[in-house]
Amino acid sequence: MKKIILAIAGFFIMQNGFAQIDYMQNEVKLNIGNTIAIASVEVGYEFFLDYNQSIDAQILFNDRMNYHSEKNSRQFNTTSFMLGYNFYFGTESAGSGLYVNPFAKLRTGEFTEVVQIADNDVRQVTDMDAFIIGIGGGYKWNFNDTFVLGPFANIGRNFSNEVKERFSALEFNAGFSVGYRF
């Protein structure tokens, strides 16, 4: 009986180990929308676990809170690291169509602003360090399993009291991603 169970287990391991993968498993991407609109550079890497599932890692340089501007002596000096899971609902090709993206994000840095207090310019600094969890979604067009394009949006909840006092507990981000699969 043990030999039969071991033989069946070995068969399934070999089937999964030598399965033919008919899609690219890696994707690098850039949020070109925010790079153009607000000078925030958001680069990412996606590794496909399956035809419709992937792990998503992103680094966001100059991550702006809810699209606040940097006018009038205001400046963001922040970097964020985001890790998420994507589930795609499309059936035409791997990693395409509508998708949902639960994520966790860690932001570091500060926000500096010059405010007037009693006719004096005072430099006010807000510590932007925060842990954020959220959910997002979007749509991806996959061209020949090589180039991908698509809009996305997400909303997250930050757990930093200092950030909540200056801005908001809810954070919104959106953009248009351009990617290459290999």
Query: 7-16, 47-56, 109-118 — which one is most confidently predicted on average?
Result: 47-56
Q: Please state the pTM of the whole predicted model.
A: 0.80
How far is it, in rounded angstroms, from Cα 149 to Cα 31?
Answer: 10
Q: Which long-range contacts (CB under 8 A, 24 or more apart) does 100-103 make?
A: 100/135, 100/136, 100/137, 101/56, 101/135, 101/136, 101/137, 101/138, 101/152, 101/154, 102/133, 102/134, 102/135, 102/136, 103/56, 103/133, 103/134, 103/135, 103/136, 103/154, 103/156
Asked if residues 177 and 30 have their Cβ atoms less than 8 Å apart, the reply is: yes
**Would you say residue 60 has pLDDT above 70?**
yes
Band (19; pLDDT cuts 50, 70, 90): low
**Domain layout of the chain by residue ranges:** 25-181
Architecture of domain 25-181 in CATH? Beta Barrel (2.40)
Band (12; pLDDT cuts 50, 70, 90): low
Question: What pLDDT, on the 0 to 100 scale, is given for residue 3?
Answer: 66
**Would you say residue 126 has pLDDT above 60?**
yes
- Per-residue pLDDT, averaged over 96-112, amounts to 95
**Would you say residue 10 has pLDDT above 70?**
no
